């Protein structure tokens, strides 16, 4: 029986496609890339047309071995990876490694439905070498960038840092926004608000005083200075006007009514899906893409990485049919709406993100098949697609001007606007969200019918104070929008870039806002001063356009890489290599890592520096640590002075009267604490006693008697009738009383010093709150129920640090995460990343309903264990030249098979000679 082998990326996708292809097809997954550049060494021959050294990944070796065995019994091979650069590269590497002797066909589709798969089988194409070249160029570019620039960061900022062509400009955007917030000077202003007691009632805001416009927040610059053509109401004038207007008649001076019309937004593409997923569902960009990937592989939506907003005729018909059924024909647009996408390449020429199929399944129809997060995202996509074919919302917008004059002849004019939507149109299905700081122009507000000259009743007049606000920090959604506007990155990279800068500690999240660390400030300052071109937004965007041109076969990859790395005569850019070599010796590490905050009362400069163990403020030789959760814009001179004024760990606050040992107040990694004695005053090898401060205490206000009370803990409360000692202790998870193996929590830390023996005995007599042999440690935080595993998620302290868990899957929190600030969705995302890593390593995914333990992936039936490898790199594929021809290997493999042990040893020895490659971002 003839059989075709079909290779896709993921097991979930393979399972769905297999349902449509039948018994004549064997569908298997490559589980992503099977080959990559080695983790050590540059692995790119810059003197030989930038030839890369691709090698099989550890997982890729097993995958290729199993696929080769299956290919022996196949009559043809279908490469069905995604239709984008990365998917094309995966197909190429599979082709190079498998070396099939049967016909090979490239199978592409943008939705996993029966009709789409059948069409793809019937209309195959060849591997697109333009897309392959673009993918390889991007990977080589990232390696060159990281290999050259990251060591500069290691030497001048801190070890373990990384640079990336998209990562670094993204960090710069976040840092620049924080700089704006630091430089921002808030201004105060007042306005008047009149409550008009008509039916319906409404409020009107002051706009003019004696013909001059009254200042609002937008009339102040970032230094707090108002425009010269406005009048700023101070508190005295505002309250005086409100009092003097009391009882005065308010007359309608004008009524302006206009038609209101608003049209729907285009269907989702990758960037808008990530933005709306963040705003409406509070999901991180990486989580949005992970859930969308699951929906795509399950056959629920079309391909989720796209720059196109276009819909096929089939999709338009499906959307319009459902609009007619659910809302009525009057809610359809007059004709089919056709959305023009900004399609640049074949990889982006497919449709917008929409429900899959010729007939869209409603959220109710898929409710039992999806977990809650998948269902919410599917519903979002479904509603947006339907709305894109619906009629405009229409109505009336009315603007009213009211006037009143005080007894002092002060003329004040008020204004109110209201939109009455008479026909909801597309709004029945979908209304866009807005970012923080933006106003909703489509918000509804109802005003009564008024005529010019009419006197309206006034219920009250209030003077309201306001302060201007700094520009809002980027959220994941708004950062993606900004990157898209600048042309930096592509749909497949934005989510991973944001995840990378979070994981590597360049930014952290305060709620949904992205806050840069002082390390990020240092990195950006270094790059701006010495490698400005590399973080220039226009330059980075041009690199993306150049990669697109390579994908279209308009530019040769070798020529482009040579210009980028070595430069060319007559061009402004000297090339990456020379740029690094010429700038390295000019970089002053001390200057790069210093950020002035201001001066104290006697003129001493205060600076902040990102240290090896965290940021700290410095005034002369005086230093103090900066809390990790303090945003840079909140580190003012006053806050810095307070940190510097706190007791220093090397200066005792007094001595213990009983022992004579010095008592210190110190600030450690886990917060402030007191210490009794030190290495100079204690016997050799004896450790000093330590005790954490209560949460209600501050280091700068701690007294000697307070410190001695803390050091007295654990305190012996008394002895019970059985002669067993009862103590009060402060543990990692709070205060408690203990008797033998029994313990019970106290209400607060102060009770540690005041709890009496009867009170302790009463507590210990109460039932235990946890079952088992011992009381379970309380979690550090609770995050609700995970939408995938449907289990409660908590944060715990483990042997290697804090982690989140749903009881089955554990995930460490990243450098950019602050436990106190972490949103529930971020905890779910960390668990999803961990599950994905387990899957990539050969385990089964945890999905839909109760979580399951990962199980090893089964090998193909009947496949024997591969023999030992040949001694001389036989696993490596030939290096491909720019034209796609194969290069002859430098050495011929020996005819005899080398012993397995010798081969392994040779390989290990060869690997040991390679230099360590810096981390870089694939973006």
Residues 715, 752 contacting (CB under 8 angstroms): yes
* H helices, E strands: number in the chain: 25, 35
CA 383 distance to own-chain centroid: 25
* Dihedral sign from CA coordinates of 494, 497, 501, 504: positive
Examine the residue annotation and report whether 616 is marked as an active-site residue of this protein: no
Q: Point out the catalytic residue in the list 145, 260, 303, 506.
A: 303
- The conformational region for residue 512 under phi > 0 = left, psi -120 to 50 = alpha, else beta, is alpha
φ, ψ for residue 405, nearest 5 deg? -125, 130
Provide the strand spans (E) within 167-232: 188-196, 202-209, 212-214, 230-231
What b/e readout covers 2-28, taking b as 16+ CB neighbours within 10 angstroms? eebbbbbbbbbbbebbbebbeeebbbb
Long-range CB contacts (within 8 A, 24+) of 900-905: 900/868, 900/869, 902/871, 903/868, 903/869, 903/870, 903/871
Count the Cβ atoms, other than its own, within 10 Å of residue 552: 14
- The conformational region for residue 374 under phi > 0 = left, psi -120 to 50 = alpha, else beta, is alpha
Q: Which of 444, 70, 431 is nearest to 276 (CA)?
A: 431
How, if at all, do strands 507-510 and 513-516 pair?
Answer: antiparallel
d(CA 148, CA 561): 14
DSSP class of 350: S
Tokens of 214: 């009254």
| 3-class state of residue 259 by DSSP | strand
- What radius of gyration, in Å, describes the C-alpha atoms of the chain? 33
- The per-residue DSSP string of 279-302 comes to HHH---HHHHHHHHHHHHHTTSBB
Burial of 345 (0-12, 13-18, 19+ CB in 10 A): buried
Q: Is the peptide bond before 714 cis (omega within 30 degrees of 0)?
A: yes
What b/e readout covers 96-106, taking b as 16+ CB neighbours within 10 angstroms? bbbebeeebbb
Question: Helices 576-583 & 557-566, crossing angle to 10 degrees?
Answer: 10
d(CA 887, CA 879): 6
φ, ψ for residue 716, nearest 5 deg? -80, 115
Q: Which alpha helices (DSSP H) does 776-887 contain, by range?
A: 824-840
How, if at all, do strands 188-196 and 35-36 pair?
Answer: unpaired
Three-state secondary structure of 315-327:
HHHHHHHHHHHHH
Count the Cβ atoms, other than its own, within 10 Å of residue 505: 18
d(CA 49, CA 884): 13
Question: Helices 537-551 & 129-156, crossing angle to 10 degrees?
Answer: 150
Tokens of 153: 């960061």
End-to-end CA distance of the chain, in Å? 44
Element (H or E) spanning 540, and its range? Answer: helix 537-551
CA 343 distance to own-chain centroid: 26
Burial of 108 (0-12, 13-18, 19+ CB in 10 A): buried
Q: Across the strands, what pairs with 357?
A: none
Residues 118, 31 contacting (CB under 8 angstroms): no
d(CA 902, CA 908): 10
Give the residue numbers marked as catalytic: 303
């Amino acid at each position: 029986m003839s059989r075709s082998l079909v290779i896709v990326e993921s097991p979930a996708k393979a399972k769905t496609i297999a349902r449509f292809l039948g018994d004549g097809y064997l569908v298997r997954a490559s589980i992503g890339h099977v080959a990559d550049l080695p983790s050590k060494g540059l692995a790119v021959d810059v003197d030989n047309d930038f030839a890369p050294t691709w090698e099989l990944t550890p997982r890729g070796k097993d995958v290729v071995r199993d696929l080769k065995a299956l290919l022996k019994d196949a009559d043809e091979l279908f490469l069905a990876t995604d239709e984008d650069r990365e998917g094309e590269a995966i197909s190429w590497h599979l082709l190079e490694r498998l070396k099939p002797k049967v016909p090979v066909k490239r199978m592409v589709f943008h939705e996993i439905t029966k009709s789409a798969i059948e069409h793809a089988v019937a209309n195959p194409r060849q591997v697109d070498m333009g897309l392959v070249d673009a993918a390889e160029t991007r990977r080589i570019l990232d390696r060159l960038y990281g290999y050259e620039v990251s060591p500069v960061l290691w030497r001048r900022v801190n070890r373990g840092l990384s640079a990336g062509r998209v990562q670094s400009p993204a960090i710069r955007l976040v840092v620049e926004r924080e700089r704006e917030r630091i430089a921002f000077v808030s201004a105060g202003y007042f306005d008047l608000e009149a409550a008009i007691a008509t039916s319906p009632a409404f409020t009107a805001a002051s706009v003019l005083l004696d013909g001059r416009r009254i200042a609002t927040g937008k009339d102040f610059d970032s230094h707090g200075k108002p425009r010269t053509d406005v009048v700023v109401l101070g508190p005295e004038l505002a309250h005086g006007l409100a009092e003097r207007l009391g009882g005065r008649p308010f007359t309608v001076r004008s009524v302006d009514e206009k038609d209101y019309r608003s049209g729907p937004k285009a269907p989702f593409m990758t960037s808008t899906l990530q933005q709306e997923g963040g705003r409406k569902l509070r999901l991180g960009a990486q989580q949005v893409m992970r859930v969308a990937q699951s929906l795509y592989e399950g056959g629920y939506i079309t391909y989720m990485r796209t720059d196109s907003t276009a819909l096929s005729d089939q999709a338009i018909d499906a959307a319009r049919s459902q609009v007619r059924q659910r809302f009525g024909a009057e809610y359809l647009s007059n004709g089919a709406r056709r959305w023009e996408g900004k399609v640049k390449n074949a990889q982006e020429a497919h449709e917008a993100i929409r429900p899959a199929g010729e007939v869209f399944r409603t959220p109710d129809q898929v409710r039992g098949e999806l977990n809650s997060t998948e269902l919410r995202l599917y519903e979002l996509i479904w509603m947006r697609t339907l709305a894109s074919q619906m009629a405009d919302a229409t109505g009336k917008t009315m603007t009213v001007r009211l006037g009143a004059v005080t007894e002092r002849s002060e003329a004040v004019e008020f204004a109110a606007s209201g939109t009455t939507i008479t026909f909801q149109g597309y709004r029945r299905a979908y209304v866009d969200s807005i970012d923080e700081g933006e106003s909703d122009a489509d918000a509804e507000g109802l005003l009564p019918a008024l005529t010019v000259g009419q006197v309206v009743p006034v219920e009250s007049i209030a003077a309201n104070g306001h302060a201007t606000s700094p520009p809002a920090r980027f959220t994941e959604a708004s950062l993606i929008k900004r990157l898209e506007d600048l042309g930096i990155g592509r749909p497949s990279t934005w989510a991973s870039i944001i995840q990378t800068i979070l994981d590597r500690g360049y930014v952290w999240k305060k709620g949904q806002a992205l806050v840069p660390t002082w390390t990020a400030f240092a990195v950006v300052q270094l790059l701006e001063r010495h490698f400005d071109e590399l973080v220039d937004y226009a330059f980075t965007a041009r690199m993306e356009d150049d990669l697109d041109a390579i994908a279209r076969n308009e530019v040769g990859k070798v020529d482009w890489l040579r210009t980028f790395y070595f430069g060319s005569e007559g061009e402004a850019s000297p090339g990456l290599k020379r740029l690094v070599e010429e700038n390295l010796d000019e970089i002053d590490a001390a200057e790069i890592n210093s950020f002035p905050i201001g001066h104290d009362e006697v003129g001493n400069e205060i600076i902040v520096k990102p240290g090896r163990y965290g940021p700290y403020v410095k005034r002369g030789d005086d230093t103090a640590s900066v809390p990790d959760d303090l945003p840079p814009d909140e580190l003012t001179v006053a806050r810095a002075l307070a940190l510097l004024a706190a007791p220093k760990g090397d200066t005792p606050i007094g001595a213990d009267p009983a022992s004579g040992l010095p008592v210190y107040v110190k600030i450690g990694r886990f917060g402030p604490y007191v210490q009794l004695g030190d290495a100079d005053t204690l016997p050799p090898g004896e450790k000093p006693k330590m005790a954490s401060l209560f949460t209600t205490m501050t280091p700068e206000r701690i007294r000697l008697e307070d410190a001695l009370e803390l050091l007295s803990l654990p305190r012996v409360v008394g002895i019970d009738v059985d002669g067993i000692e009862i103590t009060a202790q402060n543990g990692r998870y709070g205060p408690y009383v203990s008797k033998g193996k029994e313990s019970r929590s106290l209400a607060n830390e102060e009770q540690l010093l005041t709890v009496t023996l009867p009170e302790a005995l009463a507590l210990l007599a109460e039932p235990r709150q946890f079952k088992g042999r011992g009381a379970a440690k309380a979690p550090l935080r609770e995050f609700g129920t995970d939408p995938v595993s449907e289990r409660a998620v908590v944060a715990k302290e483990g042997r290697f640090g804090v982690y989140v868990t749903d009881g089955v899957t554990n995930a460490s929190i990243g450098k950019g995460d602050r436990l106190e600030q972490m949103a529930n969705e971020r905890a779910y995302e960390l668990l999803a990343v961990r599950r994905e890593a387990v899957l990539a390593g050969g385990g089964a995914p945890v999905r839909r309903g109760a979580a399951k333990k990962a199980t090893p992936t089964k090998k193909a039936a009947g496949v024997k264990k591969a023999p030992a490898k040949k001694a001389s790199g036989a696993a490596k594929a030939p290096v491909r030249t720019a034209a796609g021809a194969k290069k002859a290997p430098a050495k011929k493999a020996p005819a005899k098979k080398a012993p397995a042990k010798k081969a392994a040893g040779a390989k290990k020895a060869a690997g040991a000679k390679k230099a360590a490659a810096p981390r870089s971002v694939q973006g």
